[in-house]
Every structure is written in structure tokens, then in C-alpha cells.
Amino acid sequence: MQTDTYTVRGYEADATGRLTLPTLMNWMQESANRNALDYGIGMADLTAHGLGWMLMRFRLTVHRYPAYGETCTVSTYPTRVEKYFIYRDFKVVSASGELLAEAASTWVTFAVERRAMVPLPDFIRRLHPPAVADPLPALPSKPDFSPPETPAQVHRRAIGWYDLDVNQHTNNVSYVQALLESMPEEFLRQKHLYELDLFFKAESHLYDQLVVHTWLTDGVGLHRLVQGADGRDVLWARSVWH
Amino acid sequence: MQTDTYTVRGYEADATGRLTLPTLMNWMQESANRNALDYGIGMADLTAHGLGWMLMRFRLTVHRYPAYGETCTVSTYPTRVEKYFIYRDFKVVSASGELLAEAASTWVTFAVERRAMVPLPDFIRRLHPPAVADPLPALPSKPDFSPPETPAQVHRRAIGWYDLDVNQHTNNVSYVQALLESMPEEFLRQKHLYELDLFFKAESHLYDQLVVHTWLTDGVGLHRLVQGADGRDVLWARSVWH
């Protein structure tokens, strides 16, 4: 189990003074990376086998967004290992022990040269998840939603230099930021993004032109990010706003 | 004097594995905010007097960009107080004491309702800067460069929700990110951004459409960010690449 503390910095808060969801996800990914390193299954360990990690599913629930200066503890740990999938949970608690957020995630390995998903290699399958009292249910590999094909509100977003990670792919969190920035201002300013369910379909690269399609009904958003050049799906998402 | 340590997280590094300049500037601004709070001249203290802080000049020199996992110490302190200007220096050192970066900055106060610069109020002018051995020279209030009026390479950038600070203005660092993302890829990937000199001219707001003009000659960039709607200058900058 990996446990890290993070204190909300000024630039990690949004115009309402609360931690941004992209920063919360970045904290979680950072702790996940550190935990993977400890297990000997970090990015470099996979690269040595011609493999890479890909986040496939991520479902986040946020009970309260902490304010500037609050210190939070992020815990993360693998919960299950299967032939193709490894599952990881996250919990974020406040200094007083209040549960702020929790997330379930599903990760796969891919062969870097073939860009194809492969079964988890033995050195990952041998991993023994720690015993935890309350693992979240495994996310279904296909989500229980799909964005419609009908015309939608459309925003455009180019992938820039600071969206890239060290593997030259777009950081998963950049997609989420693009998705959220395409929401109407009153949602961002006045509503609480309670749940976000993500299904990553493909990677993207520097200077790719992405198109964000958004359908909003009764406080629920459905989102489809596609490559502008060929219409290929990059991310499906569902957001619930209170 | 304010001293904070920051450890480079994965998402704070760019595609080359080094700390991004926007993150370095965010660290500096965070430490400056904390130091201002300690002096009783934080944003909330100014708001109570109908005033706000504005960064006018910032000149940064980066000797080495730290790598993922490196722990850095940011120190910042006011160096001089004048009728209109307060000056603040920054030093960033590695765990072994190597000077990684240093910056000089000039701040002014403005009356929030009139959007006009005003003399520093007495409670700021009374501040006694700490004695430091080697304060950087005060930056000239007007920079010693100006971007040409001739046609330039042009990029466009809309101000999004996550560019805003809690005062509903665009974070200064967002402009720098827009400026750097408009640079040719080979500069970002292969060169070292050694010096960045900034002259902030006006604020911007949510959904403003900015235009970034760039002129490059022999590893020196001149940059002008303007409002797309009326051509008003937002930022002038000069960058030196080795």
C-alpha cells in the first residue's frame, strides 16, 4: 500500500478556491506510479520488457473537494490481478480522516512495438495484492454507458507540449481537463462534480487535434473525445453533477 | 524569508523527464503567497483594503532543470520597498545545494474597482525586507526589449476554466505556458530555456481569446501576447535558449 500526503497549493485550486479535479487525478496517478515502482512493476520495469502500462477504466467519486491549504492523504493499492487486467483502488482522506474521494481503476499492458494489448507478464501476475477490508467492486471492462452518435456540443483542443508524459503520450488527465473545460461555466462554478467514469480507448500524441463532444441531460454528462483527423475514439466518459 | 521544499512529481516533468518551467514558476508563486501571508500582505489582506496584487516584471534564470523525484528548496523574500513597487527575489537549490534557478520580480498594487495602479499602502510600505547577502538588482520597470510590430508566427489560445485563479483572473503561469507551447518542437525538446524575462501589461479573463506572436532569432525569442478581440497587449516576453 502506498500512502502520500499532499497539501493543496494555490495553483491547484480553481476559481472557487477548491482543489481541481485534474490535480486530484494527478495526485492519484503519482501515488500509483510510486506504488508500482515498489512492486517492481513501474514504467521502467515494463519498458525493459518492451511493454507499457495503459489505464483502461477509471471511476472516481468525490464527496468533498478540499480547500487551499488542506492536507490530504492518498492511499492506493492493487486489489486483483487477472490474465489481462490489474485493478487498483484509491482513497483520499482529509487530515481529520473524512473520506474525500475514492476511485477504482483497471490497467492493462500493451506491447510497445505492436501497440497491442497483451496478457499481463508473469512478473506482474505474481503480485499479491495487500489484504484490504473493503476493495471496490471490479469495474466492468466495457462501461455501462455509451455516448450517443447524435449531434452534440463540440469543442476543439490541440495536444500541446505540456500534455505529454515522458513516454510521449498525452497524459490521461489532459483529456479530463479538456472534457471539463468544455462544460458550461455554471456547472464548473456552481455544481459539484460527484462522479466521473472514464473509458480510455486510444492514445494521442503531440499536436493531435481532438474534438470533445458533450451531451448534457439533467445533471448527467456523456462525453466522447475523438481524433479530429480520422474520428477515432480516444475517450468515453460519463459525469454526474449535483 | 520563506523556504519550502518541493519534490518533482511525474506530471510536473515534461516529455524529456525534466521539471517544466510552468511548474517551477507555480512553486515560486506558491512560496511567494505564503511569504506574503506571513507579512500580513497576502491576497486577503489586500482585498480587505479594496486592493489586489499584480505581478509586473519577472526575470528567471534556470541553470539546471531538476529531474523526476529530485527535491528542491525554494526560498523567497522581499528585497526593496518603494512608493509604487515591491521587489521579491527567488532562489531554487537542489538537495546538494546546487543553485538551480533564481529570479527577480516586481509587484504593484491596484485598486480593484478602478482597475488602476495605486501607490503601495502604508501597511506594505512599513515592511522591512530581511537582510540578504546578495539581492538581485532591481528590474527596470520597463524592460530592455520590445517585440517588433512586423508580422510574426501566430498561435491562438483561449483562456479556460483551469487557467483562472481565485480572483477570476488568468494565472500568470498560463501565459507562460501558452508562450512556450507556441515554440517550435525542437526548441522544447532539445534546447535549454536559460532565461525568461516577462513584462505583464494587462489581465485577462475566462474565455478571452489570446493571440501569441513569436519572433525567433539566433536562439532568442521575442513574444507578444495580445487579446484577440481588441489587440490589447497582455504580456511581452524575451526568452533565451541554449
- A180–B161 CB contact, under 8 Å: yes
pLDDT band at A236 (very low <50, low <70, confident <90, very high): very high
How is chain B split into domains, by residue range?
2-125, 153-241
**Which residues are registered as beta bridge partners of B54?**
B108
Question: How confident is the model at residue B131, as a pLDDT?
Answer: 92
For chain B, say whether A93 makes contact (Cβ under 8 Å). no
Distance from chain centroid for Cα A131? 24
Give the separation between CA A171 and CA B134, rounded to whole angstroms.
40
Question: How confident is the model at residue A149, as a pLDDT?
Answer: 84
Helix (H, G, I), strand (E, B) or coil at A63: coil
CATH class of B2-125: alpha beta
Give the separation between CA B178 and CA B196, rounded to whole angstroms.
14
Residue from A170, A149, A173 nearest A161 by CA: A170
Contacts of B181 (CB under 8 A, 6+ apart): A160, A161, A162, B155, B157
Tens digit of each residue's pLDDT (9 = 90 or more) over B42-67: 988 999 999 999 999 999 999 999 99
Contact assessment for residue A176 and residue A23, using Cβ atoms and an 8 Å cutoff? no
Residue of B nearest to A165 (CA): B15
Give the separation between CA A205 and CA A84, rounded to whole angstroms.
25
pLDDT band at B14 (very low <50, low <70, confident <90, very high): very high
Which of A10, A26, A164 comes nearest B29 by C-beta? A10
For chain A, say whether B186 makes contact (Cβ under 8 Å). no
By percentage, how much of chain B surpasses pLDDT 70? 100
Residue from A54, A9, A63, A6 nearest A30 by CA: A6
Residues A101-121 have a mean pLDDT of 95
The DSSP code for B226 is E
Report the residue of A5, A161, A177, A205 to disrupt the B interface, i.e. the one with the largest count of B CBs within 10 Å.
A161
Average predicted confidence (pLDDT) for chain A: 96
The model carries a pTM of 0.96
Q: The complex's ipTM?
A: 0.95
| CATH, range B153-241 | 3.10.129.10
- A160–B181 CB contact, under 8 Å: yes
Contacts of B70 (CB under 8 A, 6+ apart): B7, B8, B19, B94, B95
Residues A183-209 have a mean pLDDT of 97
Helix axes A21-38, A172-181, angle to 10 degrees: 170
**Looking at the predicted structure, is the pLDDT value of residue B150 above 90?**
no
pLDDT band at B151 (very low <50, low <70, confident <90, very high): confident
Residues B185-204 have a mean pLDDT of 97
Distance from chain centroid for Cα B179? 12
Q: Do domains B2-125 and B153-241 have the same CATH topology?
A: yes
- B181–A171 CB contact, under 8 Å: no
Contact assessment for residue B21 and residue B63, using Cβ atoms and an 8 Å cutoff? no
Give the separation between CA B88 and CA B85, rounded to whole angstroms.
10
Give the separation between CA A217 and CA A208, rounded to whole angstroms.
29
Evaluated on CA atoms A40, A100, A219, A188, the torsion sign reads negative
Q: Which three cell numbers stand for residue A39?
A: 512492486
Contacts of B26 in chain A (CB under 8 A): 9, 11
Tens digit of each residue's pLDDT (9 = 90 or more) over A128-164: 999 998 999 999 999 999 999 888 999 999 999 999 9
Amino acid, res. B240: V
